[in-house]
Amino acid sequence: MRKIPNNGNLKMTKVAYPLGLFICLFIYVAYIKWHWASATQAFFSITEVASGARRVQQAHSPPETAARGHEVFYGIMFDAGSTGTRVHIFQFARQPGETPTLTHETFKALKPGLSAYADDVEKSTSGIQELLDVAKQDVPFDFWKATPLVLKATAGLRLLPGEKAQKLLQKVKEVFKASPFLVGDDCVSIMNGTDEGVSAWITVNFLTAEDGKELVSPCLSPGFTGEWEHAEITYRISGQKAAVNLHELCASRVSEILRNKVHRTEEVKDVDFYAFSYYYDLAANVGLIDVEKGGSLVVGDFDIAAKYVCRTAETRLQGNPFLCMDLTYISLLLQEFGFPENKVLKLTRKINNVETSWALGAIFHYIDSLSRQKRSAL
C-alpha cells in the first residue's frame, strides 16, 4: 500500500507503510487458518515427548486415573511481554487415539517485562526463577524431565536492539538449562507477529472444540460439515446450528476478536491505498473486480458482499465455505482501522508490471540496511 500525492509522484508515507504492513499481517493470519496443520505440529509434538513419561504417570497417578487409561502430561510456557512475564503451566489428559484435552492451568505474572532489564541482564534471573518455582510446585516431580519448558518473547523484546535482546534470551536460556524440566536448544525465542496470531488461532480452536475433535464456527453455513486430518486424528468442522442470521452471528464474533486490538488511524481518510494479496483474491471471487485486470472499489462493497454471501450460505452450500467469514472479517477490519465506507481502494496484482508482493520491499529494505552499515563503517 502506498500514498499517491496530488503531484503524481509515487511516495510511501509514514502512515501508509506501517498501516499497510499491519493490514497484510491480519490478512495473512486470516488466510493461514486453512493451512494451520504445520503450525499445530509444535503443539502436538508435546504429546509425543510426554509419551516417554506415560509409564511413570501410570505408576504414580491415582488408581482411578490409571484404570481409565488416561495419558497425563504437562507443558510450561513463559510469555515474555512488554509489561510483564507470565507463566502458564498446562496439564493435559488424553485417551488413546484421542485429541488431548486441557484439564488444568496454573497462571502467574510478574512485572516488569524482560525488556526492562536490557541494561542489566543479571537482574532478570530472579523473576524467571520465581516463576520456575511455581512450575516446580505445580508439576509432579515424576513429570519434570518430560515436561517441555519454553519461553516466547513478544512485543517488548522485538523492539529492543538485536544484541540486547539476544543477551536477555541467553540469560534466560541459562536459567532454563539449570532447571529440571525438558529444555531444547530452541527453548527461548522471539515470536514474530504472525506466529503470535497463528498461535492465538490454535488456542481459540482448541478451547472451543466441543468434544476435542469438532470445531464449530458461527461464520460457517449451518449445513456445512467438513473434515481435516492431522496426526492420525480426524477433526470435524461445522457451522453453528440453527443460525437465524449468519452475517449477524459472524459479525458479532469477529467484532469480539478485533475489539481493542486494532489502532484506529484518522489519517486513512486522506491517503490513497492500494490493496492486494487476499483482498484482491476475495474481491475477484465475488465479482467486485476483474479477475485478471483488478479494479477499484469502495470499502463498503466488502460489507455488501459479506451480507449477500452470508445470506445465500444460509440456504445453500458454497464452493468456498469460508467466504462469509473472510468477507465479514475484512469488512470489519477496515472499519476498525477507520476507513470510511466510501473510501476507494485500488486492487491490483502489478504496478508498472511488477508484482505487488512483499518481495521488492524486503530486498529494498535489506539493501538499504547494508548501505547504512557501510556508511557507518567509514
Q: Residue 118, Cβ neighbours under 10 Å: how many?
A: 19
Mean pLDDT highest for which of 64-68, 240-244, 277-281, 293-297? 293-297
Q: β-pairing, 233-239 with 214-217?
A: parallel
Q: Pick the catalytic residue: 64, 122, 163, 196?
A: 196
User: Contact 92/185 with Cβ under 8 angstroms?
Assistant: no
Structural contact between residues 23 and 274, judged by C-beta atoms closer than 8 angstroms: no
The rounded distance, in Å, linking the Cα atoms of 60 and 94 is 17
> 19 versus 233: which is more confidently predicted?
233
- Average pLDDT of the residues in 57-75: 55
Strand ranges inside the chain, DSSP E: 71-80, 85-94, 101-110, 149-153, 188-190, 214-217, 225-230, 233-239, 273-275, 295-298, 344-347, 350-351, 354-355
Q: What is the pLDDT of residues 119-172, one digit of tens each?
A: 999 999 999 999 999 999 999 999 999 999 999 988 778 788 888 899 999 999
The residue among 314, 308, 322, 195 whose CA lies nearest residue 254 is 322
The pLDDT confidence band at residue 98, using thresholds 50, 70 and 90, is confident
236-257 average pLDDT score: 82
Distances (CA, A) of 213 to 158, 210, 279, 322, 362: 35, 7, 31, 19, 40
Q: At what angle do helices 124-138 and 162-177 cross, to 10 degrees?
A: 40
Q: Measured between alpha carbons, how far is 185 from 173 in angstroms, rounded to an integer?
A: 9
At residue 154, the pLDDT reads 80
Tell me what pLDDT residue 69 has.
Answer: 66
Structural domains of the chain sorted by starting position, each given as residue range(s) with its CATH number in brackets: 16-32+243-360 (no CATH), 37-208 (3.30.420.40)
Contact indicator for 121, 138 with CB cutoff of 8 Å: no
In the prediction, which pLDDT does 367 show? 74
pLDDT, residue 18, reads 40
Alpha-carbon distance 150 to 79, whole Å? 9
Indicate if the pLDDT at residue 50 is higher than 90.
no
Question: According to the model, what pLDDT value does residue 23 have?
Answer: 44
196 is catalytic: yes
Question: What is the number of residues in the chain?
Answer: 378
Please tell me the predicted confidence (pLDDT) of residue 179.
97
Of residues 288 and 262, more confidently modeled: 288
Taking the whole predicted model, whether its pTM rises above 0.75 is answered as no
The answer to whether 48 and 73 are in contact (CB under 8 A) is no
State the Cα–Cα distance between residues 167 and 120, nearest whole angstrom.
10
Nearest CA among 328, 130, 126 for reference residue 245: 328
pLDDT at 24 over 50: no
Q: Tell me, what's the pLDDT at 167?
A: 93
∠ CA(321), CA(216), CA(213), 5° rounding?
115
- Residue 106 DSSP SS3: strand
What is d(CA 205, CA 200) in angstroms, rounded to the nearest whole number? 9
pLDDT of residue 198: 54
**Closest C-alpha among 258, 194, 265 to residue 39:** 194
Average pLDDT score over residue span 83-111? 85
Going by pLDDT thresholds of 50, 70 and 90, the confidence category of residue 82 is: confident
The CA distance from 44 to 230, in Å, is: 9
Contact status, residue 279 vs residue 301, Cβ threshold 8 Å? no
- The dihedral over CA atoms of 285, 18, 262, 157, expressed in degrees to the nearest 10, equals 120
Grid coordinates representing 75 are 507443558
For residue 295, is pLDDT > 50?
A: yes
- pLDDT at site 268: 84
The CB density around residue 19, as the number of other CB atoms within 10 Å, is: 20
- Lowest mean pLDDT of 45-49, 112-116, 252-256, name the range: 45-49
Number of Cβ atoms within 10 Å of the Cβ of 168: 23
334 membership: H or E segment, kind and range: helix 323-337
The 10 Å Cβ neighbour count of residue 299 is 21
Mean pLDDT of 299-312: 92
